[in-house]
């Protein structure tokens, strides 16, 4: 009886007062997971906006995306995301808003702010140069080709010279190979471009003429002025002839004091390229040993020029960085005259050493294409052997050793 009364009462209350058993609808959750609030981006970056949305008592039917309160996209499927291209957006604070709506019509919004700023653009250094092969005293024009708007320039020309001009011109006064660098800067950073051995500076073309009328190019190397070709004169500066010896057996009988010259293989066609081969006494023209600097011995050289002493060859060697590399710096490049591989040859000095070979004590010709030798004015202590300097086809050294005075070697002269 009591149960029946309770049921009747419940029906009465429901009809009379509208009491319902239905649950109240729960709104969805909505959270922007990326980017984080306050994040910073450069103009032009792609900003991926990701949203975590869920509905505890229904389904998410749409997530909408707003940039600065303007709707830009919507997504109906997980994962909810939108890629925002910030190209063209203004610098400053921008708002990102997302709104998740469920199947019961409820919605929830999340909002963050981010900063868009001008991108950091350090400059990228680059440059050109023209011409890159010059003679001493000539200039090279350098042109800045850097990108990303540099505002300052720092040039280094490899000879101690510098410039802060954007497009400088620089004069080179010393023979050599020069590495050029340019550092450019702006408020976002700096960058350096280095171009190794970009500029080649040779001696300005100067010449001398011997008593026979042969003309030679000359070259400035450090504080010295050298002939850039092997001597090919057949008379001393007073006009007296140098004895020419062709026969092998006659050459083999020469004494240390005998003067003689020849062409390689007794073939005068070698004269223009390789010059003559002289005994030491012919090169010295009867003068005695000297190791002074300068030697003070004209010998077979033209007026105002002299045969170099061992000390003067040493000065050249040290100026070029030592014997281990000096040979490469004086050798003609390529294999037109030198046999392969012509190791280390750069001829950066303009000396243009050639493989003129030699004539040994028994009159035999040897080493054309392989070796070049030059006399000095200096005898090895207590002997009749003179110091000579040599370069070879398969090494880059400038080698010092001694040979007997009656051998036939090349001659290079130094200016007084």
Q: Domain end: 154, 180, 202, which one? A: 202
Q: CA torsion angle for 77, 80, 86, 89 (degrees, to 10)?
A: 90
In a domain? residue 112: yes
Claim to verify: residue 361 and residue 280 sit in the same structural domain? yes
Q: Check: CB of residue 278 under 8 Å from CB of residue 414.
A: no
In a domain? residue 18: no
Instruction: State the residue for tokens 């960085």.
Output: 321
Q: How far, in Å, CA of 154 to CA of 159, rounded?
A: 14
Helix then strand count (H, E) for the chain reads 6, 28
Q: How far, in Å, CA of 325 to CA of 400, rounded?
A: 13
Claim to verify: residue 374 and residue 252 sit in the same structural domain? yes
Claim to verify: residue 242 and residue 262 sit in the same structural domain? yes
In a domain? residue 302: yes
Q: Domain end: 170, 202, 234, which one? A: 202
Claim to verify: residue 250 and residue 283 sit in the same structural domain? yes
In a domain? residue 16: no
The tens-digit pLDDT sequence of the chain (416 residues) is 444 434 444 444 444 444 444 557 899 999 999 999 999 999 999 999 999 999 998 899 999 999 999 999 999 999 999 999 999 899 999 999 999 999 998 999 999 999 999 887 899 999 999 999 888 889 999 999 999 999 999 999 999 999 999 999 999 998 889 999 999 999 989 999 999 999 998 877 788 999 999 999 998 898 999 999 999 999 999 999 999 999 999 999 999 999 999 999 999 999 999 999 999 999 999 999 999 999 999 999 999 999 999 999 999 999 999 999 999 999 999 999 999 999 999 998 989 999 999 999 999 999 999 999 999 999 998 888 999 999 999 999 999 999 999 999 999 999 99
Q: Domain end: 202, 231, 252, which one? A: 202
Claim to verify: residue 293 and residue 403 sit in the same structural domain? yes
Range of the domain at 345: 206-415
Q: ω into residue 228 within 30 of 0, thus cis?
A: no
In a domain? residue 375: yes
In a domain? residue 5: no
pTM recorded for the entire structure:
0.56
Closest to 272 (Cα-Cα) out of 241, 233, 219, 220: 233
What would the two tokens of residue 317 be? 């060697």
- How many domains is the chain built from? 3
CATH of the domain at 151: 2.60.40.10
Q: How far, in Å, CA of 262 to CA of 277, rounded?
A: 5
């Amino acid at each position: 009886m009591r149960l029946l009364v309770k049921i009747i009462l419940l029906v009465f209350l429901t009809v009379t007062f509208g009491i319902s058993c239905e649950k109240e609808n729960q709104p969805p959750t909505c959270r922007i997971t990326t980017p984080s609030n306050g994040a910073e981006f450069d103009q032009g970056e792609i900003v991926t906006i990701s949203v975590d949305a869920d509905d505890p008592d229904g389904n998410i039917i749409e997530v909408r995306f707003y940039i600065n309160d303007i709707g830009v996209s919507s997504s109906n499927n997980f994962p909810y995301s939108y890629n925002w291209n910030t190209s063209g957006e203004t610098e400053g604070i921008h708002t990102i808003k997302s709104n998740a709506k469920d199947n019961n019509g409820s919605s929830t919004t999340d909002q963050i702010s981010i900063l868009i700023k001008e991108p950091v653009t350090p400059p990228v250094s680059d440059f050109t140069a023209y011409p890159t092969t010059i003679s001493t005293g000539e200039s090279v024009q350098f042109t800045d080709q850097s990108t990303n708007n540099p505002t300052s320039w720092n040039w280094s020309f490899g000879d101690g010279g510098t410039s802060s001009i954007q497009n400088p011109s620089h004069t080179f006064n010393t023979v050599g190979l020069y590495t050029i660098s340019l550092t450019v800067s702006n408020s976002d950073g700096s960058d350096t471009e280095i171009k190794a051995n970009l500029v080649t500076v040779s001696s300005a073309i100067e010449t001398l003429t011997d008593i026979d009328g042969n003309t030679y190019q000359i070259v400035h190397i450090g504080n010295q002025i050298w002939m850039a070709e092997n001597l090919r004169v057949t008379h001393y500066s007073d006009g007296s002839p140098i004895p020419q010896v062709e026969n092998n057996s006659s050459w083999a009988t020469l004494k240390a004091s005998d003067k003689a010259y020849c062409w390689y293989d007794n073939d005068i066609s070698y004269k223009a390229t390789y010059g003559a081969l002289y005994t030491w006494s012919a090169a010295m023209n009867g003068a005695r040993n000297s190791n002074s600097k300068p030697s003070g011995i004209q010998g077979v050289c033209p007026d105002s020029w002299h045969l170099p002493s061992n000390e003067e060859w040493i000065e050249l060697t040290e100026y070029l960085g030592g014997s281990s590399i000096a040979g490469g710096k004086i050798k003609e490049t390529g294999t037109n005259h030198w046999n392969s591989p012509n190791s280390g040859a750069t001829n950066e000095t303009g000396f243009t050493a050639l493989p003129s070979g030699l004539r040994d004590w028994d009159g035999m010709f040897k080493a054309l294409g392989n070796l070049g030798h030059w006399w000095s004015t200096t005898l090895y202590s207590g002997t009749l052997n003179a110091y000579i300097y040599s370069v070879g086809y398969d090494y880059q050294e400038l080698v010092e050793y001694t040979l007997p005075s009656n051998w036939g070697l090349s001659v290079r002269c130094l200016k007084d």
